[in-house]
Amino acid sequence: MSSIKQIPVVEAKRTNPLARVFDDLVRFCRSRSLFILHYCTGCGAIELPPAMTSRFDMERLGIQPMVSPRQADILLITGYVSIKTLKRVILTYEQMGSPKYVIGICSCTVNGGMYWQSYATAKKLDEYMPVDLYIAGCMPRPEAVIEGLQQLMDRIHAGEANSWEDYYRNYDYYLGNQQKLFGEDWQTPTDVISEAKHYDLLSNGTLGDHTRLLEQHQKPLEALEMRLGHEQKEPAK
């Protein structure tokens, strides 16, 4: 449907000064309006309500919680990530709209924490998806969370928080790790490769053995394009 020509919003190497001002404004707005999707697995969730409510009040920073991944900018994962959970986390991450940022809270997301020897947890979150920010601690206090968020805001404003592009650029690597955990017929409904093409982020790290493996197993999920054809594929019942 996007037959209408429009200006791509974020692009490197703009010469037009106005556009640069515009980009700056956009980056600023992005940094000042962050919708969080809390993915609170085991523990750590308990520290977030104080961060949101009257004591620390995230909203004064323009941060507010959201419910569905489509709406959120930040995927905030607290506590250990068991393998079952990780599937959901990845699905959620892929459904979020870029630019998107991942924050891992608690030591478990960093290195497995107290579950470092468990067979059932994913130790390092950033093996499966690009993580912008870890807030270590077991568990970190709201001040720490706010502090972390502010750092993220600054980086967004500076235009450095682009790790989401990394997921597309090196999809093969992330997919490989995911396949190690979930088996080689692993797939999510999101068609990451075509998205990469869509954002022209396709690089030589995007495709590889693992994506080839994926394409073998993948049940194709192209979008249902609107059809005007009158010829019936199958005879009407």
Contacts to another protein by CB under 8 A: 1-2, 4, 6-10, 25-26, 28-30, 32-33, 53-54, 57, 59-60, 62, 66-71, 73, 87-89, 91-92, 95-100, 188-191, 195, 198-199, 221-234, 236-237
> Would you say 21 or 26 has its CB closer to another protein?
26
> Would you say 17 or 231 has its CB closer to another protein?
231
Minimal distance in Å, beta carbon 147 to another protein?
A: 17
Minimal distance in Å, beta carbon 199 to another protein?
A: 6
> Would you say 9 or 18 has its CB closer to another protein?
9
Residue 18 to residues 6, 14, 21, 29: CA-CA distances in angstroms? Answer: 16, 9, 5, 16
Say how far apart CA 215 and CA 155 lie, in whole Å.
Answer: 36
Minimal distance in Å, beta carbon 67 to another protein?
A: 5
Q: Indicate the pairing of strand 63-65 with strand 121-122.
A: unpaired
Say how far apart CA 35 and CA 55 lie, in whole Å.
Answer: 19
> Would you say 69 or 137 has its CB closer to another protein?
69
Q: Strand locations in 16-106, DSSP E?
A: 34-40, 63-65, 74-78, 81-82, 101-105
Minimal distance in Å, beta carbon 118 to another protein?
A: 21
Say how far apart CA 92 and CA 103 lie, in whole Å.
Answer: 14
